[in-house]
Copies of this chain bind each other. A is one copy, B any other.
Amino acid sequence: MLCIRPQNRRPKYELDYKAALSGQSVQLSRIMGPNDANIVGNVHGGIILKMIEEAGCIVSTRHCNTQNGDRCVAALVRVEKTEFLSPVFIGEVTHVTAEITYTSKHSLEVQVHVMAENILTGAKKLANKAALWYVPFSLQNVEKIMDVPPIKYAAAEQEEEGKKRYEAQKLERMETKARTEEVVPPLPDPEDHPKERHTVGFSQSSLIHLVGPSDCTLHDYVQGGVTMKLMDEVAGIVAARHCSTNIVTASVDAINFHRKIKKGCVVTVTGRLTFVSNKSMEIEVFVDAASLVEAEKKKYRAVSAFFTFISLDKYNRAQTVPPIKFDGEEELRRAEEGEARYLQRKEKRLAERERQSAAAQS
């Protein structure tokens, strides 16, 4: 899932790049420094996710303010499954291009491409592709959802495909919303005794973070990208604890942001291993939030998601991951569900490649 980029993707990107100059798109670029990477030089996936979301927020907030009425800020409500196609290294320049590709009455789809450029060799590679959904909220009244001005499509076909993606994600968002509301969130296992290596308890990790001003949007709610960066950080520590090697983010399943997190909250981010295949680890990450100062202080589940990490050898090649030593029915059940997701991802990836190679031949 890493490093191999089908040749036919290149033309698609070239097109987007041109589009990047219209009002419906934006490009962020930044050179990667030591603070963006682990000690062997791999840039953290969370840094890339944060840049992706920043670009998405800029392009959709800008678009939603091209009309009369309240000024508004676009809030991230969903990120589609995303894959890290090539690792990025310290010293490379990352170019993140975001473009609005669909608008419904109250939401926008933004597609983002991340290119990493080695300015010493001139080599460029596609590092990530992502699709994000935003909803504009009024700055005057944060509960009020604004209308989204429609975009123009080059062809009717584009609009139809966008509509299909819109309907599909809407359905899934409603489903997961119902699920999170109905289910009382299972609390992560306690870390109450020294654990045997390769058990789930051994690698389980948590961090807490006090939400400060630079984590927030103009609404004083946490920027979606900040949450994703914290999630990747915890998942990375779980993965490194499990296999004691250099690890990198390979993919992130779709994430729905049902509940916002306000400035001044404490967020608790917990990651636990659910399933390992021969060369990958699936880690479930929970984000719970609670206000420190406000009246309603009950902790609530703000987000959860599945991250897939792989372990790299010293030549940056994926290597075998130690199997999990399971402890109890619950862990086995989660692993079975994890395996089903793993197989589904694999299938989708193969289908996508076939589709692309068919498109390339036609």
Nearest B-chain residue to A28, judged by Cβ? B29
In contact, B266 and A120 (Cβ under 8 angstroms): no
Nearest B-chain residue to A192, judged by Cβ? B190
Size class of the contact patch on chain A: 35 or more
Interface flag for A240 (CB, 8 Å): yes
Task: Give the copy number.
Answer: 3
Question: Measured between C-beta atoms, what is the minimum distance from A221 to chain B in Å?
Answer: 13
In contact, A207 and B244 (Cβ under 8 angstroms): no
In contact, A91 and B218 (Cβ under 8 angstroms): yes
Please name all residues of chain B whose beta carbon is closer than 8 Å to the beta carbon of A205 when the two chains form the complex: 29, 93, 208, 266
In contact, B292 and A119 (Cβ under 8 angstroms): no
Interface flag for A178 (CB, 8 Å): no
Please name all residues of chain B whose beta carbon is closer than 8 Å to the beta carbon of A191 when the two chains form the complex: 17, 190-191
Please name all residues of chain B whose beta carbon is closer than 8 Å to the beta carbon of A150 when the two chains form the complex: none
Please name all residues of chain B whose beta carbon is closer than 8 Å to the beta carbon of A122 when the two chains form the complex: 62, 65-66, 197, 241, 244
Question: Measured between C-beta atoms, what is the minimum distance from A31 to chain B in Å?
Answer: 6
Please name all residues of chain B whose beta carbon is closer than 8 Å to the beta carbon of A117 when the two chains form the complex: 62
Interface flag for A264 (CB, 8 Å): yes
In contact, B61 and A244 (Cβ under 8 angstroms): no
Stretch at the interface among A33-41, A152-160, A166-174, A322-330: A33-41
| Complex-state Cα separation, A65 to B71, whole angstroms | 34
Instruction: Mark A178-191 against chain B: 1 for CB-CB distance below 8 A, else 0.
Output: 00000000010111
In contact, B31 and A34 (Cβ under 8 angstroms): no
Instruction: Mark A186-230 against chain B: 1 for CB-CB distance below 8 A, else 0.
Output: 010111111001000000011111101110001000000000000
In contact, A30 and B33 (Cβ under 8 angstroms): no
In contact, A208 and B28 (Cβ under 8 angstroms): yes
Interface flag for A245 (CB, 8 Å): yes
In contact, A120 and B244 (Cβ under 8 angstroms): yes
Question: Measured between C-beta atoms, what is the minimum distance from A82 to chain B in Å?
Answer: 21
Interface flag for A237 (CB, 8 Å): yes
| Complex-state Cα separation, A29 to B91, whole angstroms | 18
In contact, B246 and A293 (Cβ under 8 angstroms): yes
18 contacts between A and B (CB under 8 A): A17-B21, A17-B191, A26-B93, A28-B208, A28-B209, A30-B30, A54-B210, A58-B119, A58-B210, A65-B119, A65-B297, A66-B122, A72-B293, A93-B237, A187-B194, A208-B237, A213-B214, A246-B293
